[in-house]
Amino acid sequence: MAYRKNMTEFRLEQLLGRDEIDTDLKEIAAYLNDQTVLVTGAGGSIGSELCRQISRFKPKNLLLLGRGEQSIYTIHLECRTRFPKLNVLPIIADIRDTNRMRQVYEAHRPAVIFHTAAHKHVELIEAFPEEVVKNNIIGTKIVSELAQEYGVQRFVMISTDKAVKPVCVYGAGKRLSEFQIEGLSRWSDTIFVTVRFGNVLGARGSIVPLFQKQIAEGGPVTVHPEATRYFMTVPEAARLVIQSGAMGKNGEIFILDMGKSLPIIDLAIEMIRLEGKEPGVDIQLEFIDLRPGDKLHEELLTQTEGVCMTKNKKIFIAQPDQIDINALEATIAELKQLAAETKRLDIIQKLAEFLPDYKPSALWTKKRAL
């Protein structure tokens, strides 16, 4: 039987298992009005949606920064077309390049920065920890420290639930960056906050595009039978980021109440049915093991993080763990050197040494045993 290549359109919020959280941003987004706003990773799933949302609130300048020229071109064209009066500027730059980033800050003097740039494809990047160090850890350190140096008013970093008791390199790298941002917040006049996400439906590297492709090709849909995840939509994620930027006082981690974690197999079954197919009849399900770096169940909080409510009952604030800043700086310096030498196993061991909750995946524990 031949299967269509183009999937039937359906709204991703149909997969949430809950009502989508729709936040009215008119009042809380006033801090963006008439300001120069910089979005790193502006061509990515979250970054581009942030640009769309921010554009509504009439910033003085919107800076779209990224390495990928096609993705930056695409979101620049969209913003320019939808908001013709907005001064929107594309910037091709690498957050790992200190001199280039300094040029950007010097030339444009951003007041608000949303830092979304990161390698985030868990399965792919697990084998390349040196790139997590260079891009996610060192890149974040560069853009956040320059924010402090150039007097940026607010800096919001995107993190992940995979940073809680991490079992993947991506999560461990984000956990280290959470600590680094919190460390800056202790003494800086810049307001530094972190937003911790669950899985974003439809984002690059998420499970939804893979399931869509598998269903379009007639199956099978490959899924772990017991794994669960927290899910949110891209617009939900962008609205949370903007609201967190308004609410943050300094050093907090903002978390969205995403309801109950959902079995991934339920997501797969629902997607098959939304295509008018019958799971197990028209489209087969194939059970697989967890990928290297995957957890059976994700968590949003560590055991030691206190949590409190905000004015928005769907948003919580975690008070992050505090660590020795000198030890953190020394660890990042060592990781930078190890990454430059592509000493992958040493990077994993250094991360595990600094992060007691980090349990490296089988990809690395097997190599260590050799």
Q: What is the 3-state secondary structure (H, E, C) of 150-191?
A: CCCCEEEEEEEHHHCCCCCHHHHHHHHHHHHHHHHHCCCCCE
- Res. 6 pLDDT band, cuts 50 70 90: very low
| pLDDT of amino acid 8 | 47
Query: E-assigned strands of 224-302?
Result: 228-229, 231-233, 253-256, 262-263, 285-287
- Res. 318 pLDDT band, cuts 50 70 90: confident
| pLDDT of amino acid 2 | 37
> Is 145 strand, coil or helix?
helix
> Pick the residue with more confidence: 307 or 211?
211
pLDDT at residue 5 is higher than 50 = no
Task: Return the top range by mean pLDDT from 218-222, 287-291, 328-332, 366-370.
Answer: 328-332
Contact, 200 vs 237, CB < 8 A?
A: yes
Looking up tokens 């930056």, which residue turns up?
A: 72
Q: How confident is the prediction for the chain on average, in pLDDT? A: 87
For range 104-114, the mean pLDDT = 98
Both tokens assigned to 83 = 């908001």
- Res. 295 pLDDT band, cuts 50 70 90: confident
Looking up tokens 């740039």, which residue turns up?
A: 117
Query: For 64-77, how does the pLDDT look when each residue is reduced to its tens digit (9 = 90+)?
Result: 999 999 999 999 99
CA-based end-to-end distance of the chain: 47
Domain ranges of the chain: 25-201+231-258+299-370
Query: For 350-361, how does the pLDDT look when each residue is reduced to its tens digit (9 = 90+)?
Result: 999 999 999 999
Q: What is the CA radius of gyration of the chain?
A: 20
For range 280-285, the mean pLDDT = 91
> Is 48 strand, coil or helix?
helix
Kindly list the catalytic residues: 162
| pLDDT of amino acid 23 | 63
- Specify the amino acid at residue 212: Q
**Torsions phi, psi of 326, nearest 5?**
-65, -40
Contact, 242 vs 28, CB < 8 A?
A: yes
pLDDT at residue 117 is higher than 90 = yes
State which fold the 25-201+231-258+299-370 domain adopts. Answer: Rossmann fold (3.40.50)
Both tokens assigned to 98 = 């200190």
Work out whether strand 262-263 and strand 228-229 pair parallel, antiparallel, or are unpaired.
Answer: antiparallel
CA distance 139 to 98: 8
Contact, 256 vs 21, CB < 8 A?
A: yes
Q: What is the pTM of this model?
A: 0.87
Bin 259: left if φ > 0, else alpha if -120 < ψ < 50, else beta.
left
